[in-house]
Chains A and B, each alone.
Chain A
Amino acid sequence: MNAAARLALIGLFAVGALQGQEPRTRLAGRVPPAALSALDSIVLLADHEGIPTEPLIQKALEGGAKGAPPATIVAAVGESASQLRSALALLRQGGESQPSSAAEVTAVAAALARGVSPDQVGNLSAVLPGEPTGPALHAVADLVGHGFTEDSSVDLIVEAARQGLRGLRLLDVAAAAVLELQRGQNRAIAFARVRDMLPNVPPPPRPAPATVSKARRLTPPTQRP
């Protein structure tokens, strides 16, 4: 083995060691020490599979902050890894030509966690090829959360997408339906009214200037003590 090959190998080992160390460094002192090894394994395996690891680290930090026992934290992080794995698989099945972004995988996993079925994820991916499906899925989940059936919710969002609404504007479709519900309409009439509005559903109100001026910018987590 020549010197260049040796150097490359050493570099690979160093990168691997650093990658393995990074989650442990962030979790040390924030989760019970008894959970560290198991969490390390889950995160490293997820990274190997191409699953976003940041949500897993966040789930572990959340468990530590909430004072959960080590076994519960490991189980919750393992469950999150499963959801992310399913989301990634669904996106790949949907024929995504580009590798799915971490944000997209996380959004699909969140929608699955909110009760959207894998079949409907596939349906929405088919309607929005090559586009982020996260907002569409959250719109469906918002509707389902307010008692609309999953099929009719997906139909409404698909109709909105066909009429040109994309991204976060799809959330406004769900918001308009919920507003009709709050005005006392039944679900069928609420959906019918929103269909009539499409694609001109009202956007959400912009934050007031006073609110914007009062808003504080957070210190990035990496700079916090």
Chain B
Amino acid sequence: MKPIDPLVNRVLDGELPPEVLTPAQRAELARLDRVATLLAEVPPASVANRVMAEVRRPLPGVVERLVRWFGERHTVTISVRPAWSLAVAAVLAALAIIPGRAPAPVLGSQEGIAQFVGRFPGAKSVEVVGSFTDWRPGAVVLRDDDHDGVWRAAVVLPVGQHEYMFVVDGEQWVTDPLAGRFVDDGFGRQNSLLIVRPVSR
């Protein structure tokens, strides 16, 4: 800010007459007079009222302020560490890729659970083929998750009797020795006979 000339200041204070000033100093004195006049003016009543009304208005409620906040534009700054970001991304990807456990089947009154267990060490694949699959392979595949040679599967089947055999490595037909019930299959082997009971007894 430019300081006021001391001579002009003394004229303003009434210590000296204006005639002592140079033309430039008189021009500055005139500017300062105009500013003082402007500052002495009272603002129109309408403006003052509006400003005071705005100042005295009570604060809006929390909900209104929240709505206003969400409606307004904000600058949000997020600072992240790449290591944490990668870890979170890996967890999200794993959740998306790993299949969740399917919900338990809802069993009807005429349905039961059949469990198939067979010990076939060294087998590459084991499945059950029977009357409940129309003797078509591929419908009931057994699993050996812990690689101990014991293959298992559980399926929902209609109540009643069913004939079946294990098919090992896609070609070897094997009678289930644990079935306890057997019938000649008419093709030189024996089918295992399974009697499924309703679960909802």
Contacts and interface: CB of A to CB of B under 8 A. Distances in A.
Interface of A: 30, 58-59, 61-66, 68, 72-73, 75-77, 79-80, 103, 106-107, 110, 113-114, 134-135, 138, 141-142, 145, 168, 171, 203-204, 206-207, 209, 211-219, 221, 224
Interface in B47-83: none
Interface residues on B, range: 35 or more
Nearest to B106: A217
Contacts of A72: 186-187
B115 interface: yes
B135 A114 contact: no
B123 interface: no
Given A203-B201, A219-B139, A211 B186 contact: no
A80 B135 contact: no
Nearest to B104: A213
B187 A63 contact: yes
18 contacts: A58-B134, A61-B134, A62-B185, A63-B187, A65-B135, A65-B137, A66-B185, A68-B187, A72-B187, A110-B161, A114-B181, A114-B182, A171-B197, A204-B197, A218-B139, A218-B140, A221-B133, A224-B136
B150 interface: no
Contact of A113 (B139, B183, B199, B201): B183
Contacts of B133: 218, 221, 224
A148 to B, nearest CB: 14
Nearest to B185: A62
Given A207-B199, A224-B134, A103 B187 contact: no
Contacts, number: 120
B191 to A, nearest CB: 8
Interface stretch (B8-16, B18-26, B151-159): B151-159
* Interface residues of chain A: helix, strand, loop or mixed (majority): helix
B186 A59 contact: yes
Contacts of B181: 114, 138, 141-142, 145
Contact of A212 (B104, B161, B193): B104
Contacts of A145: 180-182
A211 B115 contact: yes
Given A63-B187, A114-B181, A207-B199, A213 B134 contact: no
Contact of A138 (B139, B161, B173, B201): B161
B147 interface: no
Contacts of B126: none
Contacts of A215: 104-105, 113, 154-156
B187 A212 contact: no
B146 interface: no
A80 B186 contact: yes
A138 B187 CA distance: 22
B109 interface: no
B105 A217 contact: yes
Contact of B115 (A68, A168, A207): A207
Contacts of A58: 131, 134-135, 163
B156 A218 contact: yes
Interface in B171-201: 173, 180-187, 189, 191, 193, 195, 197, 199, 201
Contacts of A204: 197
A136 B48 CA distance: 103
B104 A63 contact: no
Contacts of A114: 181-183, 193
A216 B161 contact: no
A66 B183 contact: no
Given A110-B161, A138-B195, A76 B134 contact: no
Contacts of B29: none
